[in-house]
Structure 1
Protein backbone atom coordinates (compact mmCIF):
# COMPACT_ATOMS: atom_id res chain seq x y z
CA UNK A 1 0.00 0.00 0.00
CA UNK A 2 1.43 3.37 -0.99
CA UNK A 3 2.00 6.12 1.54
CA UNK A 4 -1.04 8.32 1.94
CA UNK A 5 -1.24 12.00 2.78
CA UNK A 6 -2.89 13.17 5.96
CA UNK A 7 -5.88 14.33 3.91
CA UNK A 8 -6.29 10.93 2.27
CA UNK A 9 -6.09 9.19 5.64
CA UNK A 10 -8.75 11.52 7.03
CA UNK A 11 -11.08 10.76 4.12
CA UNK A 12 -10.72 7.01 4.52
CA UNK A 13 -11.16 7.19 8.32
CA UNK A 14 -14.26 9.33 7.73
CA UNK A 15 -15.66 6.63 5.45
CA UNK A 16 -14.65 3.89 7.88
CA UNK A 17 -16.74 5.64 10.55
CA UNK A 18 -19.58 5.98 7.96
CA UNK A 19 -19.93 9.71 8.48
CA UNK A 20 -20.63 9.88 4.75
CA UNK A 21 -23.73 7.72 5.38
CA UNK A 22 -25.60 9.23 8.37
CA UNK A 23 -28.63 6.90 8.22
CA UNK A 24 -27.16 4.73 10.96
CA UNK A 25 -26.80 7.73 13.27
CA UNK A 26 -30.45 8.63 12.75
CA UNK A 27 -31.71 5.08 13.37
CA UNK A 28 -29.74 4.97 16.60
CA UNK A 29 -30.63 8.52 17.62
CA UNK A 30 -34.44 8.38 17.33
CA UNK A 31 -34.98 5.80 20.13
CA UNK A 32 -32.60 7.74 22.38
CA UNK A 33 -34.68 10.87 21.81
CA UNK A 34 -37.94 8.96 22.35
CA UNK A 35 -36.62 7.78 25.70
CA UNK A 36 -35.21 11.14 26.79
CA UNK A 37 -38.47 12.97 26.07
CA UNK A 38 -40.64 10.36 27.79
CA UNK A 39 -38.34 9.98 30.80
CA UNK A 40 -38.05 13.76 31.10
CA UNK A 41 -41.82 14.32 30.69
CA UNK A 42 -41.17 16.40 27.61
CA UNK A 43 -38.37 18.43 29.19
CA UNK A 44 -35.15 16.40 29.24
CA UNK A 45 -32.12 18.26 30.54
CA UNK A 46 -30.02 20.01 27.92
CA UNK A 47 -26.93 18.26 29.26
CA UNK A 48 -28.48 14.81 28.81
CA UNK A 49 -29.62 15.60 25.28
CA UNK A 50 -26.13 16.84 24.37
CA UNK A 51 -24.39 13.82 25.92
CA UNK A 52 -26.69 11.33 24.23
CA UNK A 53 -26.55 12.97 20.81
CA UNK A 54 -22.75 13.07 20.90
CA UNK A 55 -22.62 9.58 22.39
CA UNK A 56 -24.81 8.19 19.62
CA UNK A 57 -22.57 9.74 16.95
CA UNK A 58 -19.41 8.37 18.57
CA UNK A 59 -20.72 4.87 19.32
CA UNK A 60 -22.29 4.45 15.91
CA UNK A 61 -18.90 5.38 14.41
CA UNK A 62 -17.18 2.93 16.75
CA UNK A 63 -19.68 0.22 15.81
CA UNK A 64 -18.99 0.74 12.10
CA UNK A 65 -15.24 0.54 12.66
CA UNK A 66 -15.37 -2.71 14.65
CA UNK A 67 -17.91 -4.13 12.20
CA UNK A 68 -15.54 -3.57 9.27
CA UNK A 69 -12.67 -5.01 11.28
CA UNK A 70 -14.70 -8.13 12.05
CA UNK A 71 -15.85 -8.46 8.42
CA UNK A 72 -12.50 -7.71 6.80
CA UNK A 73 -12.33 -11.23 5.30
CA UNK A 74 -15.97 -11.18 4.13
CA UNK A 75 -16.37 -7.66 2.72
CA UNK A 76 -14.15 -8.12 -0.36
CA UNK A 77 -16.53 -10.84 -1.55
CA UNK A 78 -19.75 -8.83 -1.19
CA UNK A 79 -20.74 -6.42 -3.95
CA UNK A 80 -22.05 -3.73 -1.59
CA UNK A 81 -19.06 -3.79 0.78
CA UNK A 82 -15.96 -4.52 -1.30
CA UNK A 83 -15.04 -0.82 -1.46
CA UNK A 84 -15.12 -0.31 2.31
CA UNK A 85 -11.81 1.14 3.59
CA UNK A 86 -10.37 -2.03 5.16
CA UNK A 87 -11.63 -4.30 2.39
CA UNK A 88 -10.12 -1.96 -0.21
CA UNK A 89 -6.78 -1.95 1.63
CA UNK A 90 -6.88 1.77 2.41
CA UNK A 91 -7.01 1.33 6.19
CA UNK A 92 -5.05 -1.35 8.02
CA UNK A 93 -6.83 -3.54 10.63
CA UNK A 94 -4.54 -2.30 13.41
CA UNK A 95 -5.42 1.30 12.55
CA UNK A 96 -9.10 0.41 12.79
CA UNK A 97 -8.66 -1.10 16.24
CA UNK A 98 -6.86 2.01 17.49
CA UNK A 99 -9.64 4.20 16.11
CA UNK A 100 -12.31 1.98 17.70
CA UNK A 101 -10.68 2.22 21.13
CA UNK A 102 -10.27 6.00 20.81
CA UNK A 103 -13.93 6.50 19.91
CA UNK A 104 -15.07 4.31 22.82
CA UNK A 105 -12.86 6.18 25.28
CA UNK A 106 -14.22 9.57 24.21
CA UNK A 107 -17.80 8.25 24.46
CA UNK A 108 -17.07 6.82 27.91
CA UNK A 109 -15.63 10.15 29.01
CA UNK A 110 -18.98 11.72 28.13
CA UNK A 111 -20.87 9.09 30.12
CA UNK A 112 -18.67 9.75 33.16
CA UNK A 113 -20.41 13.14 33.46
CA UNK A 114 -23.71 11.33 34.21
CA UNK A 115 -24.90 9.39 37.29
CA UNK A 116 -23.58 6.02 38.45
CA UNK A 117 -26.52 4.03 37.07
CA UNK A 118 -25.95 5.45 33.59
CA UNK A 119 -22.23 4.75 33.82
CA UNK A 120 -22.88 1.13 34.85
CA UNK A 121 -25.35 0.62 32.00
CA UNK A 122 -22.86 2.08 29.52
CA UNK A 123 -20.50 -0.84 30.20
CA UNK A 124 -23.21 -3.25 29.03
CA UNK A 125 -23.84 -1.07 25.98
CA UNK A 126 -20.16 -1.06 25.05
CA UNK A 127 -20.03 -4.86 25.33
CA UNK A 128 -23.08 -5.24 23.07
CA UNK A 129 -21.64 -2.85 20.48
CA UNK A 130 -18.23 -4.56 20.45
CA UNK A 131 -19.57 -8.12 20.16
CA UNK A 132 -22.41 -7.59 17.67
CA UNK A 133 -20.27 -7.81 14.48
CA UNK A 134 -19.17 -11.35 15.36
CA UNK A 135 -22.69 -12.74 15.85
CA UNK A 136 -23.27 -13.45 12.15
CA UNK A 137 -20.72 -16.26 12.45
CA UNK A 138 -22.66 -18.11 15.13
CA UNK A 139 -26.36 -17.32 14.77
CA UNK A 140 -28.96 -16.49 12.14
CA UNK A 141 -30.20 -13.72 14.46
CA UNK A 142 -27.46 -11.07 14.37
CA UNK A 143 -30.18 -8.53 13.53
CA UNK A 144 -31.85 -9.26 16.88
CA UNK A 145 -28.53 -8.77 18.64
CA UNK A 146 -28.11 -5.48 16.80
CA UNK A 147 -31.50 -4.47 18.21
CA UNK A 148 -30.30 -5.20 21.74
CA UNK A 149 -27.22 -3.06 21.11
CA UNK A 150 -28.94 -0.17 19.31
CA UNK A 151 -31.77 -0.07 21.82
CA UNK A 152 -29.55 0.10 24.89
CA UNK A 153 -29.64 3.89 24.72
CA UNK A 154 -33.26 3.62 25.96
CA UNK A 155 -32.59 2.31 29.49
CA UNK A 156 -29.52 4.54 29.66
CA UNK A 157 -31.66 7.58 28.87
CA UNK A 158 -34.15 6.70 31.61
CA UNK A 159 -31.29 6.18 34.04
CA UNK A 160 -29.78 9.54 33.12
CA UNK A 161 -33.08 11.42 33.50
CA UNK A 162 -34.71 9.60 36.43
CA UNK A 163 -32.10 7.28 37.99
CA UNK A 164 -34.72 4.54 37.63
CA UNK A 165 -35.75 1.87 35.12
CA UNK A 166 -39.57 1.74 35.12
CA UNK A 167 -41.65 -0.70 33.09
CA UNK A 168 -42.02 1.94 30.36
CA UNK A 169 -38.26 1.88 29.78
CA UNK A 170 -38.27 -1.87 29.12
CA UNK A 171 -41.35 -1.83 26.91
CA UNK A 172 -39.78 0.97 24.85
CA UNK A 173 -36.55 -1.05 24.74
CA UNK A 174 -38.54 -4.00 23.40
CA UNK A 175 -40.08 -1.79 20.70
CA UNK A 176 -36.65 -0.47 19.71
CA UNK A 177 -35.18 -3.98 19.55
CA UNK A 178 -38.04 -5.13 17.30
CA UNK A 179 -37.57 -2.08 15.11
CA UNK A 180 -33.89 -2.84 14.52
CA UNK A 181 -34.82 -6.44 13.74
CA UNK A 182 -37.24 -5.12 11.11
CA UNK A 183 -35.01 -2.62 9.34
CA UNK A 184 -31.84 -4.67 9.56
CA UNK A 185 -33.65 -7.65 8.04
CA UNK A 186 -34.56 -5.39 5.11
CA UNK A 187 -30.90 -4.42 4.93
CA UNK A 188 -29.87 -8.10 5.03
CA UNK A 189 -32.26 -8.88 2.15
CA UNK A 190 -29.96 -6.78 -0.05
CA UNK A 191 -26.98 -9.02 0.74
CA UNK A 192 -28.75 -12.38 0.96
CA UNK A 193 -27.27 -13.88 -2.23
CA UNK A 194 -23.72 -12.88 -1.32
CA UNK A 195 -24.16 -13.99 2.31
CA UNK A 196 -25.28 -17.45 1.19
CA UNK A 197 -22.15 -17.79 -0.95
CA UNK A 198 -19.69 -16.83 1.79
CA UNK A 199 -21.48 -18.50 4.70
CA UNK A 200 -22.63 -15.41 6.63
CA UNK A 201 -25.86 -15.85 8.59
CA UNK A 202 -28.79 -13.43 8.81
CA UNK A 203 -32.52 -13.23 9.51
CA UNK A 204 -33.09 -12.69 5.78
CA UNK A 205 -31.67 -16.16 5.21
CA UNK A 206 -33.45 -17.63 8.24
CA UNK A 207 -36.88 -16.28 7.25
CA UNK A 208 -36.38 -17.24 3.60
CA UNK A 209 -39.53 -17.05 1.48
CA UNK A 210 -41.48 -15.88 4.54
CA UNK A 211 -39.35 -12.79 5.09
CA UNK A 212 -42.10 -10.27 4.24
CA UNK A 213 -44.64 -12.01 6.46
CA UNK A 214 -42.25 -12.25 9.41
CA UNK A 215 -41.17 -8.63 9.00
CA UNK A 216 -44.85 -7.63 8.86
CA UNK A 217 -45.59 -9.52 12.08
CA UNK A 218 -42.61 -7.83 13.77
CA UNK A 219 -43.84 -4.42 12.60
CA UNK A 220 -47.24 -5.12 14.19
CA UNK A 221 -45.59 -6.26 17.44
CA UNK A 222 -43.46 -3.13 17.54
CA UNK A 223 -46.50 -0.92 17.01
CA UNK A 224 -48.35 -2.73 19.82
CA UNK A 225 -45.35 -2.17 22.12
CA UNK A 226 -45.41 1.55 21.30
CA UNK A 227 -49.15 1.63 22.01
CA UNK A 228 -48.38 0.03 25.38
CA UNK A 229 -45.83 2.79 26.06
CA UNK A 230 -48.52 5.36 25.36
CA UNK A 231 -50.92 3.66 27.76
CA UNK A 232 -48.31 3.39 30.51
CA UNK A 233 -47.38 7.06 30.19
CA UNK A 234 -50.88 8.39 29.58
CA UNK A 235 -49.90 9.92 26.24
CA UNK A 236 -52.58 11.54 24.13
CA UNK A 237 -53.84 12.13 20.62
CA UNK A 238 -50.66 13.62 19.15
CA UNK A 239 -48.70 10.55 20.14
CA UNK A 240 -51.18 8.17 18.53
CA UNK A 241 -51.29 10.27 15.38
CA UNK A 242 -47.51 9.85 15.25
CA UNK A 243 -47.97 6.09 15.59
CA UNK A 244 -50.55 6.15 12.80
CA UNK A 245 -48.04 7.90 10.53
CA UNK A 246 -45.41 5.33 11.52
CA UNK A 247 -47.84 2.52 10.64
CA UNK A 248 -48.26 4.14 7.24
CA UNK A 249 -44.49 4.03 6.73
CA UNK A 250 -44.52 0.34 7.68
CA UNK A 251 -47.14 -0.33 5.02
CA UNK A 252 -45.06 1.58 2.47
CA UNK A 253 -41.99 -0.48 3.37
CA UNK A 254 -43.98 -3.69 2.84
CA UNK A 255 -44.93 -2.42 -0.60
CA UNK A 256 -41.29 -1.66 -1.42
CA UNK A 257 -40.02 -5.14 -0.53
CA UNK A 258 -42.88 -7.05 -2.15
CA UNK A 259 -40.74 -8.27 -5.09
CA UNK A 260 -37.50 -8.66 -3.11
CA UNK A 261 -35.66 -6.28 -5.43
CA UNK A 262 -32.35 -5.22 -3.87
CA UNK A 263 -32.65 -1.46 -4.55
CA UNK A 264 -36.23 -1.47 -3.18
CA UNK A 265 -35.22 -3.41 -0.08
CA UNK A 266 -32.49 -0.86 0.58
CA UNK A 267 -34.99 1.94 0.02
CA UNK A 268 -37.28 0.34 2.59
CA UNK A 269 -34.38 0.21 5.04
CA UNK A 270 -33.69 3.92 4.53
CA UNK A 271 -37.38 4.78 4.93
CA UNK A 272 -37.23 3.71 8.57
CA UNK A 273 -35.68 7.08 9.36
CA UNK A 274 -39.10 8.61 8.71
CA UNK A 275 -40.73 5.98 10.93
CA UNK A 276 -38.49 7.05 13.81
CA UNK A 277 -39.10 10.72 13.09
CA UNK A 278 -42.89 10.23 13.09
CA UNK A 279 -42.83 8.56 16.49
CA UNK A 280 -40.62 11.29 17.93
CA UNK A 281 -42.79 14.05 16.50
CA UNK A 282 -45.83 12.47 18.15
CA UNK A 283 -44.03 12.31 21.51
CA UNK A 284 -42.68 15.85 21.19
CA UNK A 285 -46.06 17.39 20.27
CA UNK A 286 -47.93 15.45 22.93
CA UNK A 287 -45.80 16.95 25.69
CA UNK A 288 -45.46 20.36 24.03
CA UNK A 289 -49.23 20.82 23.69
CA UNK A 290 -50.06 19.91 27.28
Structure 2
Protein backbone atom coordinates (compact mmCIF):
# COMPACT_ATOMS: atom_id res chain seq x y z
CA UNK A 1 0.00 0.00 0.00
CA UNK A 2 1.31 3.37 -0.95
CA UNK A 3 1.79 5.65 2.03
CA UNK A 4 1.30 9.37 1.57
CA UNK A 5 3.41 12.14 2.98
CA UNK A 6 3.16 13.51 6.51
CA UNK A 7 -0.33 14.77 7.29
CA UNK A 8 -0.58 18.53 7.21
CA UNK A 9 -3.13 20.23 9.42
CA UNK A 10 -5.74 22.23 7.46
CA UNK A 11 -5.76 25.94 8.09
CA UNK A 12 -9.07 26.12 9.91
CA UNK A 13 -10.32 25.81 13.46
CA UNK A 14 -13.59 24.22 14.49
CA UNK A 15 -13.52 25.90 17.88
CA UNK A 16 -15.08 29.00 16.31
CA UNK A 17 -18.42 27.50 17.32
CA UNK A 18 -20.86 30.23 18.46
CA UNK A 19 -18.36 32.94 17.54
CA UNK A 20 -18.65 35.62 14.88
CA UNK A 21 -16.55 35.14 11.78
CA UNK A 22 -13.58 37.49 11.41
CA UNK A 23 -15.12 38.93 8.24
CA UNK A 24 -18.42 39.80 9.94
CA UNK A 25 -18.89 43.46 10.83
CA UNK A 26 -20.69 44.73 13.88
CA UNK A 27 -23.70 46.96 13.37
CA UNK A 28 -23.09 50.70 13.64
CA UNK A 29 -25.58 50.81 16.50
CA UNK A 30 -23.68 48.28 18.58
CA UNK A 31 -21.11 50.70 19.92
CA UNK A 32 -17.32 50.49 19.55
CA UNK A 33 -15.96 48.13 16.93
CA UNK A 34 -14.47 45.03 18.57
CA UNK A 35 -12.59 42.40 16.55
CA UNK A 36 -14.93 39.50 15.85
CA UNK A 37 -14.16 35.85 16.60
CA UNK A 38 -12.29 36.60 19.82
CA UNK A 39 -14.93 35.29 22.21
CA UNK A 40 -17.03 32.13 22.37
CA UNK A 41 -20.12 31.55 24.51
CA UNK A 42 -20.45 28.17 26.20
CA UNK A 43 -23.85 26.62 25.51
CA UNK A 44 -23.87 24.80 28.86
CA UNK A 45 -22.86 27.40 31.46
CA UNK A 46 -23.24 30.59 29.43
CA UNK A 47 -19.68 31.71 30.15
CA UNK A 48 -17.97 33.91 27.60
CA UNK A 49 -14.55 32.42 26.89
CA UNK A 50 -11.59 34.03 25.18
CA UNK A 51 -10.95 32.04 22.03
CA UNK A 52 -7.23 31.65 22.71
CA UNK A 53 -7.96 30.29 26.19
CA UNK A 54 -10.28 27.70 24.65
CA UNK A 55 -7.60 26.68 22.21
CA UNK A 56 -5.09 26.30 25.04
CA UNK A 57 -7.52 24.02 26.89
CA UNK A 58 -7.99 21.87 23.77
CA UNK A 59 -11.58 22.95 23.30
CA UNK A 60 -12.72 22.33 26.89
CA UNK A 61 -14.69 25.09 28.64
CA UNK A 62 -12.54 26.49 31.44
CA UNK A 63 -15.64 27.11 33.59
CA UNK A 64 -17.88 24.03 33.34
CA UNK A 65 -15.78 21.53 31.39
CA UNK A 66 -18.00 21.34 28.31
CA UNK A 67 -16.19 19.62 25.45
CA UNK A 68 -16.50 21.66 22.27
CA UNK A 69 -16.29 19.82 18.97
CA UNK A 70 -12.83 19.42 17.47
CA UNK A 71 -11.83 19.10 13.84
CA UNK A 72 -10.20 15.83 12.83
CA UNK A 73 -6.91 17.69 12.30
CA UNK A 74 -6.97 19.20 15.80
CA UNK A 75 -7.75 15.83 17.35
CA UNK A 76 -4.92 14.09 15.51
CA UNK A 77 -2.54 16.79 16.68
CA UNK A 78 -3.75 16.26 20.25
CA UNK A 79 -3.56 12.45 20.25
CA UNK A 80 -0.60 11.49 18.06
CA UNK A 81 3.06 12.04 18.90
CA UNK A 82 4.42 15.08 17.08
CA UNK A 83 5.66 14.32 13.58
CA UNK A 84 4.72 10.63 13.60
CA UNK A 85 1.34 10.66 11.84
CA UNK A 86 1.15 9.49 8.23
CA UNK A 87 -2.12 9.75 6.37
CA UNK A 88 -3.34 6.94 4.10
CA UNK A 89 -6.02 6.89 1.37
CA UNK A 90 -6.30 10.67 1.47
CA UNK A 91 -7.16 11.04 -2.23
CA UNK A 92 -10.30 8.93 -2.40
CA UNK A 93 -12.99 11.10 -4.00
CA UNK A 94 -16.74 11.06 -3.50
CA UNK A 95 -18.89 10.39 -6.57
CA UNK A 96 -22.58 11.09 -7.09
CA UNK A 97 -24.03 7.61 -7.70
CA UNK A 98 -27.66 8.76 -7.48
CA UNK A 99 -27.16 12.01 -9.43
CA UNK A 100 -28.41 13.88 -6.39
CA UNK A 101 -28.93 17.55 -7.37
CA UNK A 102 -26.19 19.85 -6.07
CA UNK A 103 -24.31 17.07 -4.27
CA UNK A 104 -21.03 17.45 -6.16
CA UNK A 105 -21.01 21.21 -5.59
CA UNK A 106 -21.72 20.71 -1.89
CA UNK A 107 -18.82 18.28 -1.51
CA UNK A 108 -16.47 20.64 -3.33
CA UNK A 109 -17.52 23.50 -1.07
CA UNK A 110 -16.79 21.46 2.07
CA UNK A 111 -13.43 20.39 0.66
CA UNK A 112 -12.43 23.97 -0.05
CA UNK A 113 -13.56 25.21 3.37
CA UNK A 114 -12.03 22.40 5.42
CA UNK A 115 -8.89 21.46 3.53
CA UNK A 116 -9.76 17.74 3.72
CA UNK A 117 -11.28 15.48 1.07
CA UNK A 118 -13.89 13.68 3.17
CA UNK A 119 -15.46 13.45 6.61
CA UNK A 120 -12.81 11.10 7.98
CA UNK A 121 -9.01 11.15 8.11
CA UNK A 122 -7.21 7.81 8.38
CA UNK A 123 -3.58 7.00 8.98
CA UNK A 124 -1.04 5.62 11.41
CA UNK A 125 1.52 6.92 13.87
CA UNK A 126 2.58 6.71 17.49
CA UNK A 127 0.81 7.41 20.77
CA UNK A 128 3.52 7.80 23.42
CA UNK A 129 5.68 5.56 21.28
CA UNK A 130 2.99 2.92 20.61
CA UNK A 131 2.39 2.25 16.90
CA UNK A 132 -1.31 2.70 16.16
CA UNK A 133 -3.73 2.96 13.24
CA UNK A 134 -6.25 5.74 13.70
CA UNK A 135 -9.38 7.04 11.96
CA UNK A 136 -10.88 10.37 13.01
CA UNK A 137 -14.25 11.62 11.80
CA UNK A 138 -14.94 15.35 11.36
CA UNK A 139 -18.42 16.62 12.17
CA UNK A 140 -17.75 19.86 10.31
CA UNK A 141 -17.63 18.02 6.98
CA UNK A 142 -21.28 17.47 6.07
CA UNK A 143 -21.98 16.64 9.72
CA UNK A 144 -19.55 13.73 9.55
CA UNK A 145 -22.12 11.76 7.57
CA UNK A 146 -21.04 8.34 6.28
CA UNK A 147 -21.05 8.02 2.53
CA UNK A 148 -19.34 5.42 0.37
CA UNK A 149 -15.89 7.05 0.64
CA UNK A 150 -16.09 7.41 4.44
CA UNK A 151 -17.03 3.74 4.73
CA UNK A 152 -14.29 2.72 2.30
CA UNK A 153 -11.59 4.73 4.10
CA UNK A 154 -12.58 3.26 7.47
CA UNK A 155 -12.67 -0.25 6.03
CA UNK A 156 -9.21 0.19 4.49
CA UNK A 157 -7.89 1.50 7.81
CA UNK A 158 -9.26 -1.59 9.57
CA UNK A 159 -7.66 -3.88 6.99
CA UNK A 160 -4.38 -1.97 7.18
CA UNK A 161 -4.34 -2.44 10.97
CA UNK A 162 -4.98 -6.15 10.46
CA UNK A 163 -2.13 -6.59 7.98
CA UNK A 164 0.30 -4.61 10.13
CA UNK A 165 -0.98 -6.25 13.34
CA UNK A 166 -1.47 -2.86 14.99
CA UNK A 167 -4.17 -1.66 17.39
CA UNK A 168 -6.98 0.37 15.82
CA UNK A 169 -8.62 3.50 17.25
CA UNK A 170 -11.62 5.18 15.64
CA UNK A 171 -12.91 8.55 16.85
CA UNK A 172 -16.53 8.84 15.77
CA UNK A 173 -18.42 12.08 15.15
CA UNK A 174 -21.32 11.72 12.78
CA UNK A 175 -24.93 12.51 11.98
CA UNK A 176 -25.30 9.04 10.46
CA UNK A 177 -25.67 7.74 6.93
CA UNK A 178 -25.46 10.26 4.07
CA UNK A 179 -28.89 10.61 2.45
CA UNK A 180 -27.46 11.87 -0.85
CA UNK A 181 -26.00 8.41 -1.50
CA UNK A 182 -28.99 6.34 -0.38
CA UNK A 183 -28.37 2.59 -0.34
CA UNK A 184 -24.68 3.10 -1.14
CA UNK A 185 -24.36 4.85 2.20
CA UNK A 186 -26.35 2.24 4.12
CA UNK A 187 -24.16 -0.54 2.69
CA UNK A 188 -21.19 0.96 4.53
CA UNK A 189 -22.72 -0.19 7.82
CA UNK A 190 -22.43 -3.83 6.78
CA UNK A 191 -19.03 -3.39 5.14
CA UNK A 192 -17.36 -1.71 8.12
CA UNK A 193 -18.98 -4.14 10.58
CA UNK A 194 -17.72 -7.14 8.57
CA UNK A 195 -14.22 -5.68 8.48
CA UNK A 196 -14.27 -5.16 12.26
CA UNK A 197 -15.48 -8.74 12.80
CA UNK A 198 -12.60 -10.14 10.73
CA UNK A 199 -10.13 -7.85 12.51
CA UNK A 200 -11.36 -9.05 15.92
CA UNK A 201 -11.31 -12.72 14.92
CA UNK A 202 -7.63 -12.31 14.05
CA UNK A 203 -6.90 -10.95 17.52
CA UNK A 204 -6.82 -7.23 16.72
CA UNK A 205 -7.47 -4.61 19.39
CA UNK A 206 -10.15 -2.08 18.44
CA UNK A 207 -10.86 0.94 20.64
CA UNK A 208 -13.90 3.04 19.75
CA UNK A 209 -13.99 6.61 21.05
CA UNK A 210 -17.40 8.29 20.81
CA UNK A 211 -17.40 12.07 20.53
CA UNK A 212 -20.18 14.61 20.12
CA UNK A 213 -22.29 13.71 18.19
CA UNK A 214 -22.28 10.01 17.32
CA UNK A 215 -25.64 9.05 15.84
CA UNK A 216 -27.48 7.14 13.12
CA UNK A 217 -25.83 4.47 11.02
CA UNK A 218 -22.40 5.05 12.53
CA UNK A 219 -23.74 4.22 16.00
CA UNK A 220 -25.54 1.21 14.51
CA UNK A 221 -22.32 -0.17 13.04
CA UNK A 222 -18.62 0.21 13.82
CA UNK A 223 -18.99 2.82 16.61
CA UNK A 224 -20.46 0.28 19.04
CA UNK A 225 -18.32 -2.70 18.05
CA UNK A 226 -15.16 -1.77 19.94
CA UNK A 227 -13.41 -4.17 22.28
CA UNK A 228 -13.42 -1.09 24.51
CA UNK A 229 -15.82 1.79 23.99
CA UNK A 230 -14.77 5.15 25.42
CA UNK A 231 -16.58 8.48 25.21
CA UNK A 232 -15.93 12.14 25.88
CA UNK A 233 -17.95 13.84 28.64
CA UNK A 234 -21.35 15.08 27.55
CA UNK A 235 -21.19 13.50 24.08
CA UNK A 236 -24.52 12.93 22.34
CA UNK A 237 -24.73 9.25 21.45
CA UNK A 238 -27.71 7.47 19.94
CA UNK A 239 -29.46 6.24 16.83
CA UNK A 240 -32.63 8.24 16.23
CA UNK A 241 -33.17 11.73 17.65
CA UNK A 242 -34.88 12.21 21.00
CA UNK A 243 -37.94 13.93 19.54
CA UNK A 244 -38.42 11.14 16.99
CA UNK A 245 -38.28 8.52 19.73
CA UNK A 246 -40.73 10.41 21.95
CA UNK A 247 -43.17 10.82 19.08
CA UNK A 248 -42.88 7.12 18.25
CA UNK A 249 -43.32 5.64 21.73
CA UNK A 250 -45.47 8.55 23.00
CA UNK A 251 -43.51 8.77 26.24
CA UNK A 252 -41.28 11.34 27.88
CA UNK A 253 -37.66 10.21 27.87
CA UNK A 254 -35.43 10.48 30.99
CA UNK A 255 -33.34 13.58 31.56
CA UNK A 256 -29.94 13.34 29.95
CA UNK A 257 -31.08 10.55 27.64
CA UNK A 258 -28.47 9.78 24.93
CA UNK A 259 -25.69 11.57 26.79
CA UNK A 260 -22.45 9.71 27.47
CA UNK A 261 -23.08 9.71 31.22
CA UNK A 262 -26.50 8.07 30.76
CA UNK A 263 -25.04 5.40 28.49
CA UNK A 264 -22.23 4.66 30.95
CA UNK A 265 -24.73 4.22 33.77
CA UNK A 266 -26.71 1.75 31.66
CA UNK A 267 -23.72 -0.27 30.47
CA UNK A 268 -23.50 0.81 26.83
CA UNK A 269 -19.98 2.25 27.10
CA UNK A 270 -16.98 1.30 29.23
CA UNK A 271 -15.55 4.62 30.37
CA UNK A 272 -15.90 8.38 30.00
CA UNK A 273 -12.49 9.96 29.45
CA UNK A 274 -11.90 13.74 29.55
CA UNK A 275 -10.17 15.03 26.43
CA UNK A 276 -6.99 16.08 28.18
CA UNK A 277 -6.59 12.57 29.60
CA UNK A 278 -7.46 10.72 26.40
CA UNK A 279 -3.94 10.25 25.02
CA UNK A 280 -2.64 8.85 28.31
CA UNK A 281 -5.62 6.51 28.65
CA UNK A 282 -5.27 5.18 25.10
CA UNK A 283 -1.55 4.60 25.60
CA UNK A 284 -2.14 2.60 28.78
CA UNK A 285 -4.79 0.44 27.11
CA UNK A 286 -2.52 -0.31 24.15
CA UNK A 287 0.39 -1.26 26.42
CA UNK A 288 -1.81 -3.54 28.51
CA UNK A 289 -2.89 -5.43 25.40
CA UNK A 290 0.50 -5.75 23.72
TM-score where L is the length of structure 2? 0.29
Higher fraction of strand: 2
TM-score where L is the length of structure 1? 0.29
Higher fraction of helix: 1
Task: Work out which structure has the larger RCO, using CA pairs closer than 8 Å and 6 or more positions apart in sequence.
Answer: 1
